[in-house]
């Protein structure tokens, strides 16, 4: 017969050298901080795609479709769509979901 010993299971609240941690009763931060680059080349791509898609929709559905409607929609609200889309992508990418 093999003797079974109970080993303590790893708990999120335990001290963990890997995550820097003193056990103060709080979970570690949900944001990554492991040396990954802060900004990468692809982060603005979803914001750009959303802004261009919206401007294309506005240009096609305008009473007088054309390049003028497209450019106006790219300037506003395209700039706001780009900024918000890029921020959402950045924080979504940095969030540690493990």
Select from 9, 93, 95 the least CA-distant residue to 47. Answer: 93
In a domain, 34, yes or no: no
Report cis status (omega within 30 of 0) of the bond before 77: yes
Select from 76, 84, 32 the least CA-distant residue to 54. Answer: 76
- DSSP of 7-30, one letter per residue? PPPP-TTS-BGGGTB--SS-PPPS
In a domain, 25, yes or no: no
Residues 22-55: pLDDT tens digits? 556 665 666 656 666 677 889 999 999 999 999 9
Say whether pLDDT at 2 is over 90: no
Instruction: Find the domain containing 76 and state its range.
Output: 41-98
In a domain, 10, yes or no: no
In a domain, 52, yes or no: yes
Kindly indicate the confidence band of residue 4, based on its pLDDT and cuts at 50, 70 and 90: low
Say whether pLDDT at 15 is over 90: no
Total count of domains within the chain: 1
Select from 48, 51, 45, 35 the least CA-distant residue to 94. Answer: 35
In a domain, 12, yes or no: no
Residues 55-97: pLDDT tens digits? 999 999 999 988 999 999 999 999 999 999 999 998 888 776 5
In a domain, 98, yes or no: yes
The whole-model pTM stands at 0.63
In a domain, 22, yes or no: no
């Amino acid at each position: 017969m093999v003797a079974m010993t109970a080993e303590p299971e790893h708990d999120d609240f335990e001290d963990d050298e890997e995550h820097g941690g003193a056990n103060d009763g709080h979970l570690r931060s949900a944001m990554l901080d492991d040396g990954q680059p802060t900004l990468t080349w692809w982060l603005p791509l979803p914001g750009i795609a959303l802004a261009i898609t919206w401007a294309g929709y506005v240009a096609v559905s305008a009473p007088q479709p054309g390049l003028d409607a497209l450019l106006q929609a790219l300037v506003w609200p395209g700039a706001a769509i780009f900024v918000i889309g890029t921020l959402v992508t950045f924080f979504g990418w940095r969030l540690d979901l493990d």
